[in-house]
């Protein structure tokens, strides 16, 4: 069974404008699932899911023209975070240095997402843009 934080029947789907809002949505979804199933919440796994949600949201804001859709589902042993944006460009791992050999700041978000998630998918959206879905194990 899949629980969606932002899609109760007849409700409007909320979009986080800030990474902190995405983290709160993931935290709420995981806490609700743990409470409903009477299972303990693995704080390290939750931290990984929060970081992935934050990085995907930050990347959509900085590089994708803003968040156009957001969804978080707790599905079995993992949490699925989907973030859509306006850009058709695929995420890339930036080189550690610029063309002059100087260390770059930032550029760590996509590698972090790929390292922490057990499944990452990038899908083109029919009206343009993309949706990135990452599943982070909760145990």
Q: Give the side-chain half-sphere CA count within 13 A for 99.
A: 0
For residue 61, tell me if it sits in a domain: yes
| Residue pointed to by tokens 């993309």 | 130
pLDDT in tens, 16-38: 779 999 999 999 999 999 999 99
pTM reported for the whole predicted model = 0.84
Q: What is the pLDDT of residue 2?
A: 33
56: domain range? 13-96+103-137
For residue 125, tell me if it sits in a domain: yes
For residue 38, tell me if it sits in a domain: yes
pLDDT in tens, 94-107: 888 888 888 877 77
CATH number for the domain spanning 77: value is 3.30.565.10
The answer to whether 81 and 74 are in contact (CB under 8 A) is no
For residue 65, tell me if it sits in a domain: yes
For residue 3, tell me if it sits in a domain: no
Whether the per-residue pLDDT at 91 is higher than 60: the answer is yes
From CA 29, how far away is CA 99, in angstroms rounded? 43
Name the strand (E) or helix (H) holding 82.
Answer: strand 78-85
Confidence category of residue 68, pLDDT binned at 50, 70, 90: very high
């Amino acid at each position: 069974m899949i629980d969606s934080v932002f899609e109760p029947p007849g409700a409007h789907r909320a979009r986080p404008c800030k990474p902190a809002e995405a983290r709160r949505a993931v935290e709420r979804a995981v806490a609700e699932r743990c409470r409903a199933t009477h299972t303990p919440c693995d704080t390290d796994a939750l931290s990984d899911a929060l970081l992935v949600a934050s990085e995907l949201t930050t990347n959509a804001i900085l590089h994708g023209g803003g968040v156009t859709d957001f969804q978080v589902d707790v599905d079995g042993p993992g949490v699925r975070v989907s973030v859509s944006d306006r850009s058709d460009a695929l995420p890339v791992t930036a080189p550690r240095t610029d063309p002059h050999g100087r260390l770059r700041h930032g550029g760590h978000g996509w590698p972090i997402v790929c390292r922490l998630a057990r499944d990452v998918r990038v899908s083109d959206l029919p009206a343009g843009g993309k949706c990135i879905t990452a599943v982070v194990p909760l145990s």
